[in-house]
Structures are given as structure tokens and as C-alpha cells.
Amino acid sequence: MGVKLGILGLGTVGTGTVQLLQDRAGRHPLLQEIEIYRVGVRSLQKSRAVELPTDVVTTDLDAIVNDPAVDIIVEVMGGLEPARSLILKALNNGKHVVTANKAAIARFGAEIFTAANQAGVYVMLEAAVGGGIPVIQPLKQSLSVNRIHAITGIVNGTTNYILTRMQTEGSNFSDVLADAQQLGYAEADPTADVDGLDAADKIAILASLGFSGRINLQDVYCEGIRQVSKTDIAYAEKLGFVIKLLAIAKRNAPLSPSSPLFVRVHPTLVPKTHPLASINGVYNAILVEGEPIGQVMFFGPGAGAGATASAVSSDILNLVAILKTKTVAPNLLLACGHQEYCQIAPMAELVTRFYARFLTKDQPGVIGKLGTCFGNYEVSLESIVQTGFQGELAEIVVVTHDVREGNFRQALAEIRSLEAIDSIPSLLRVL
Ligand code: NAP
Ligand code: HSE
């Protein structure tokens, strides 16, 4: 007997998945076991890129998750509700779930995985982070014996596309965003992408897997790219960096399993020699560092119908394999094995390098005063340059050595009070 799928959603990801599952030649033979049994949509009037029998497509999504004949629910509708409730109903009805919904998992992961464990079923989410890039299963299985030190990713294609174009064309953020929206690379409401919220959901999921604990999304520090200017991109370039929106989950040195863990999303100056510096356009990449593996980088398409369908369908196939072998004992590597929350350290404790740009009066002694303020808070400078002017004001750019963020901010507060300082237009962290 075939394994029956109930697919919730027939948009970009749902359509890609149905297309892949209908086009089986040359793919894994287990795909033959899959039956697309029900597909839930909002509108029956919309024209669709796939052909499905009329009795398969329905607007009654509750009926799909409550149908005893359905073995696996594939949630590719997105959004928080009714996605959350439908996933929970499916799990409580003893159905495995495959989802691409990072927003729902990052917010409701605790209740979703608790429900799955209680029902003895799995929630698979390979497509939720990095689109087509295999990173969830590698973290759960292939890398599971490693002590993970850091996960550093470019996990949002829209912002990487915008920053790449700002870098190559010397354009402004708002101009590139408008163009990206016209070309269909950025959504009409770009908030989740450009404000870093999508990346925060994704790093919360990756951190949970890498550091074996739940992550409270509110503890993830999040800064988007709206304030990144072409001036800073040009300065970064001169100093040997590119600016990327990085999602980082990392322990402070000295490394030990009890060292403070920071989970954060922010625009970052990345040395041009770093492997993530060359990830351009809509591509994603995730660098995992651990012991004893060292560094492993996953790279590929982070979104799109085909890429995401590849991830969703591989999750489905994993479940089909389990259902076909009638495995009764839970696979401890596929199930969520942790109930405790990770302790996330406050950003004031983070040790990192900073880049800051100051606009100051053009008068003698300003650089000396800046140096004194930084010295007062043990902020050591790697470089300080004054290369340009903005009108009457001198532009001074500083890059620090590794410093405690709390100390750096105290030094900035003192600097802001100096009569010679006009403003501090940019403040970015350096990898
Ligand atoms: P989409 O194109 O907007 O498609 C959503 C689908 O769900 C549509 O078919 C829609 O029905 C249906 N739907 C939504 N709300 C519904 C409701 N309340 N009742 C019934 N049907 C409903 O979305 P998508 O881009 O495929 O994304 C789906 C999920 O995958 C999201 O969680 C997203 O974050 C994730 N994801 C997407 C990508 C990507 O490249 N797009 C990559 C990775 C992860 P109608 O067609 O009738 O409107
Ligand atoms: N909006 C997301 C991005 C799509 O730009 O990467 C994939 O999750």
C-alpha cells in the first residue's frame, strides 16, 4: 500500500514538491510508494501549474489533518496560524509532519516537538533553513558527535542579493530594494527579510540543533540591513572586508561546553579571505565549526521551487522509508531529543571586533580624544583612518581589536558627549 500525503499549500514550495513527486523517472525508487492523496489550498479558482484530480484538491485543511487515511502531512502553506494548529492536530492524530515553516518552528517548536514526541512521530524541517541546502540532517546526524563551537550563516537570500548589488554597483539600499522588488527577488513587504527576522528564525533553529537545547526567539539579537550604507560598503572594501548579513550562534572563547553562547543576526564586516565573503546573490551558505571536525561549509540555493522541493521531498522519503520498514522504536537522531532551553548570554558580554564611523569637527586633537575615550574602557584599536569629509565634517573610521561589547558601548557613550563629535552614523561588528 502506498504512503498517503496530505499537502497543505500549493504555492511555490507546494507546487515544486508536487512537480518533483510526479516526475519520478531517474529518482529514488521509494518515490513510487508515495500517493498525493489530498492537497489543501485557499482558493479552488486559481489556475495551477500542476495537474491534480479535482477530488484531491480541497479548501478543507482540517479534514486533511483529521483524515485517518493520511500518513504524512506536508505543511507548505506558511504563516503562523492556522499552520501551527494544523501541525499540532496532525501530530496529535499520529501523523508525521514535514514542514518548510521556519517562522512557526522558531516560535512554536517547543509545543510542536513535545506533541510529536508524545505521539511517537517525527517533524522534519530540512527546507526551513537554507532552502535546498542539506544542513538540518547533517547537524542532526552526520555531525552529531561533534562539539559544535560556531554556526555562521548567510541564510537569507533576499538580503544577500541586496548587499551583493550594493557592493558591486555602489548603489543605495533603498534603490536596490525597489529594484529587487520589481524583479521579484524581494517581497512587497520586505520586513521579515531586510530586518533580519527571517534569519533570526533560521539561526534559532540551527542553534537549537547545534547546541542541543531549545532557543527562546526573544533571546536572539537581531539587526537588519536597512542602515547599511554605500559609504560603509566602500570603507569596508578599502579595509579588506565585504558586508554580509550573518546569522551566528557561537560560544565565546575560551571554548568549552559551558562557555557563554551568543545567538545573533546583524550586518557584519567579513574579511575578503573568509569562505563566506564570496557567497553572493541569492545564494546561502552555512559554516559549521566543531571539534573534532574543524570547518564544514554547506552552500547552495536557499530558496526557490526546485531547491525547496528537493529538501521537502527528501524529508518525505525519509519518513516513507520509516513507514515502509514499519520501524516502531523512535529514531533518536530524527526525533527532537532536548527539552531544556539554551542559556543565551547578553550581547554586552560578547567579545568581538567593531567598525565605527564618526563625523567630527575638523579640528586638532579629535583623533587623540577618541583614542583616550576608547582607552578608558580597555577598547584597543586595530586601525583608525580619516580619509574623507562630508561637507564641513571630517569622517573618521575605526576598527577595534576584540573587545567586550559592553565596554565598547560605554566608550561610545563617552565619545558622544564630546563637543567635537557630530554623530556616529555607523556601528558594525567585524567577524
Ligand atoms: P506561497 O507561495 O505563498 O504558497 C502558500 C500556499 O498555501 C498557497 O497555495 C495558499 O493557497 C496556501 N495557503 C496559505 N494559507 C492558507 C490557508 N489559510 N488556507 C488554505 N490554504 C492556504 O508560499 P511558499 O513560498 O510556497 O512558502 C511556503 C512555506 O515554505 C513558508 O513557510 C515559507 O517560509 C517556506 N519556504 C519558502 C521558500 C521559497 O523559496 N518560497 C523557501 C524555503 C521555505 P492558494 O494558492 O489558494 O492561495
Ligand atoms: N525570504 C527567504 C530568503 C526565502 O530571502 O532567503 C527562503 O526562506
Please state the domain extents for the chain.
3-132+305-325, 136-301, 350-430
- Cα separation, 158 vs 183, in Å, equals 11
Could you report the per-residue pLDDT of 271-320, keeping only the tens digit for each? 999 999 999 999 999 999 999 999 999 999 999 999 999 999 999 999 99
Mutation test residue for ligand 2: of 158, 181, 189, the one with most atoms within 8 Å of CB: 158
- Cα separation, 333 vs 323, in Å, equals 16
Residues with CB under 6 A from ligand 1: 9-14, 40-43, 46, 61, 76-79, 82, 100-102, 127, 131, 303-304, 308
Cα–ligand 2 centroid distance for 343 (angstroms)? 27
What per-residue confidence (pLDDT) applies to 159? 97
Are 396 and 384 spatial neighbours (Cβ–Cβ below 8 Å)? yes
Choose the weakest-confidence range: 90-99, 182-191, 202-211.
182-191
Q: Cis ω on the peptide bond leading into residue 292 (within 30° of 0)?
A: yes
- As beta bridge partners, residue 423 has 359
Q: Is 190 in the pocket of ligand 2 (CB under 6 A)?
A: no
Q: Is 112 in the pocket of ligand 2 (CB under 6 A)?
A: no
The class of domain 136-301 in CATH terms is: alpha beta
Q: 202 an active-site residue?
A: yes
Q: Is 198 in the pocket of ligand 2 (CB under 6 A)?
A: yes
What per-residue confidence (pLDDT) applies to 328? 66
Cα–ligand 1 centroid distance for 13 (angstroms)? 7
Cα–ligand 2 centroid distance for 209 (angstroms)? 20
**CATH code for 3-132+305-325?**
3.40.50.720
Q: Retrieve residue 309's grid coordinates.
A: 522541493
Name the closest ligand to CA 16.
1
Q: Is 152 in the pocket of ligand 2 (CB under 6 A)?
A: no
Choose the weakest-confidence range: 218-222, 389-393, 413-417.
389-393
pLDDT above 70: percentage of residues in the chain: 99
Q: Which of 202, 244, 324, 361 is catalytic?
A: 202
Going by alpha carbons, the residue nearest to atom 2 of ligand 2 is: 156
Name the closest ligand to CA 162.
2
Q: What is the DSSP string of 183-199?
A: HTSS-SS-HHHHTSHHH
378: confidence class by pLDDT, cuts 50, 70, 90: very high
Q: What is the DSSP string of 10-76?
A: -SHHHHHHHHHHH--TTS-GGGGGEEEEEEE-S-SSS--SS---TTTEES-HHHHHH-TT--EEEE-
- Cα separation, 35 vs 101, in Å, equals 22
pLDDT of 164 higher than 90: yes
pLDDT above 90: percentage of residues in the chain: 91
Q: Cis ω on the peptide bond leading into residue 254 (within 30° of 0)?
A: yes
- Cα separation, 419 vs 208, in Å, equals 46
pLDDT of 336 higher than 90: no
CATH superfamily name and code, 350-430: ACT domain (3.30.70.260)
pLDDT of 255 higher than 90: no
Cα–ligand 1 centroid distance for 188 (angstroms)? 15
pLDDT of 256 higher than 90: no
Q: What is the mean pLDDT of residues 345-361?
A: 97
Q: Closest by alpha carbon to 230, among 304, 293, 164?
A: 164
Q: Which residues of 32-67 are buried (b: 16+ CB within 10 A; e: fewer)?
A: eebbbbbbbbeeeeeeeebebeeeebbeebeebbbb
Cα–ligand 1 centroid distance for 76 (angstroms)? 5
What per-residue confidence (pLDDT) applies to 337? 84
pTM: 0.96
Could you count the other beta carbons within 10 Å of the beta carbon of residue 362? 12
User: What are the φ and ψ backbone dihedral angles of 341, each rounded to 5 degrees?
Assistant: -90, 145
